[in-house]
Amino acid sequence: MNLAISPARDVAIDNDWWRGAVIYQIYPRSYQDSNGDGIGDLRGIVQRLPYITSLGVDAIWISPFFTSPMKDFGYDVSDYCDVDPMFGSLADFDAVVETAHRLGIRVMIDLVLSHTSDAHPWFAQSRADRTNDKANWYVWADPKPDGTPPNNWLSIFGGSAWHWDARREQYYLHNFLVSQPDLNFHEPAVQDALLDVARFWLNLGCDGFRLDTINFYMHDAELRDNPALPPEMRNATIAPSVNPYNHQEHLYDKNHPDNVKFLARLRAVMEPFGAAAVGEVGDAQRGLEIMGQYTAGDDLMQMCYAFEFLAKDQPTAQRIVDVMTKVDAVAADGWACWAFSNHDVMRHASRWNLPPAAQRLFATLIMCLRGSVCIYQGEELGLPEADVAFEDLQDPYGIEFWPEFKGRDGCRTPMVWEPSNQNGGFSDGQPWLPVASEHLHLAVAAQEDEPGALLHHYRKAIAFRHSHRALAVGDHDGLRATGDVVFFTRTDGDQTIFCAFNVSETPSDFDLPAGAWTPIGAGLGSAHVSADGRLHLGPWQVCLALKT
């Protein structure tokens, strides 16, 4: 593969590097296997960093690779300060950081702070009795007089969020799997220990964190019941529709107002390193408001993302306007990080049933929105959701709710590098999830040789964003919609760029705002602008113009 690598960028200069950055998410189990065991690893990431550099991204986010029983594939941590042997070693992490920095890419890692594995030594000590030094490190509660759980809180993975422990004769809280007990952030020693974890990785050269379930850190100390959520307010943004988790308004099991105090402490730890964080806000009703709270000012998190564009339905022009208008209202002093796909949702090429032209449009759109951007491995190839047979499923979430919800394995199948073998160049062994046969013709090597391939479009869109500061860091004038066309301008200093997107297969005629405009973005399929400012947008076509 002949990859043109841009000159290395100095990762030490700009502490504001995160603003407008493009971050590439790597699910390490599925990116590149370097030793033939069928599981991707850190050495595999090192091997593929030249490819990642060729995309033009600013940073990588690596999903968890810590020591873990892998019941939730690394999101159940048993040692925060070591690498699970299946992924390699701390020396291999050093190699990732060294190679990435040499190529001008920053390295963010996925910190899972709200809970640990039940195999973590902290939990083993905490559950031993009610008087030891870590007895209060997890959320323990006595049963009700009838022996039932202390309240009505539910787990995202199904059933009660409380599990009985015979050693202490108490329940412990688990917002996710039973094997993922929640840490007690009301205990100062817990916060101190987790801040030490952040320092450990920052001292190893990590440039920042993706913070898993950032709004789940702190619970209501009074353990009050969550109220019921009216059916008309329910949605499946956070949990599948068949999950009763959607039947509650989650006022007390997460979103605690004191959570921001911990975030301020974390930001103070990160600040001397010039590190940045992006928080995952998991809330179906108030995600944008919480994002605004957690990113307000200069002493909390730099970025957060909510789930508005990770939802099931393709965003219409009006939906895009509504989301961005609400962000302006509730997070004007904050900073969003947008994503269309990640390791927890169906790939958006399938979720929104997008033809190739629409995939190009949405790739261009996300690079023009105010905020930073996350793209998920394989998104740049246009990979559809893989159909994983029940007998091949690994995800406990999918196994629990099959067949109405098939889980997350379909977006986690291995990255495809070569079309010439059944494993797509991912591994010489049997992959942990099967490589989808329909992915092979979309492999990197096949697209490198095809000038019109989506991979090249992503490179162009990322480069276009980087070459126009108005798109990366500028303000916008408020989004508007007319029919299926969403439009706005982005401005930074004396640079103003007009952006219009026809998010449908129906052609549309459109007038540019008054003024002199020079068409730009021809390589992204931008529409021709007539002398009178009239333009015709074909199906899934964009218009990009520079004010002169």
Contacts 24+ apart (CB under 8 A), 443-451: 443/381, 443/416, 443/417, 443/418, 443/419, 444/1, 444/51, 444/381, 444/415, 444/416, 444/417, 444/418, 445/1, 445/417, 445/418, 445/419, 445/420, 446/419, 447/381, 448/1, 448/2, 448/3
Mind spelling out the 3-state secondary structure of 57-121? CCEEEECCCEECCCCCCCCCCCEEEEECCCCCCHHHHHHHHHHHHHCCCEEEEEECCCECCCCCH
- Catalytic site residue 212? yes
Alpha-helical segments (H) within 139-272: 188-203, 259-270
First to last CA, the chain: 40
Residue 520 is given by DSSP the state E
DSSP per-residue codes, 32-62? --SSSSSS--HHHHHHHHHHHHHHT-SEEEE
> Which residue among 72, 76, 92, 212 is the active-site one?
212
The crossing angle, in degrees rounded to 10, of helices 188-203 and 259-270 is 30
CA distance 365 to 359: 10
> Which residue among 72, 76, 84, 280 is the active-site one?
280
Contact criterion met (CB below 8 Å) for 237 and 305? no
The crossing angle, in degrees rounded to 10, of helices 454-466 and 42-55 is 70
Residue 222: CB atoms within 10 A of its CB come to 7
Cα dist from 202 to 40, 109, 275, whole Å: 24, 10, 8
- Catalytic site residue 280? yes
CA-only gyration radius of the chain, Å: 23
CA distance 363 to 459: 10
Mind telling me the catalytic residues?
212, 280
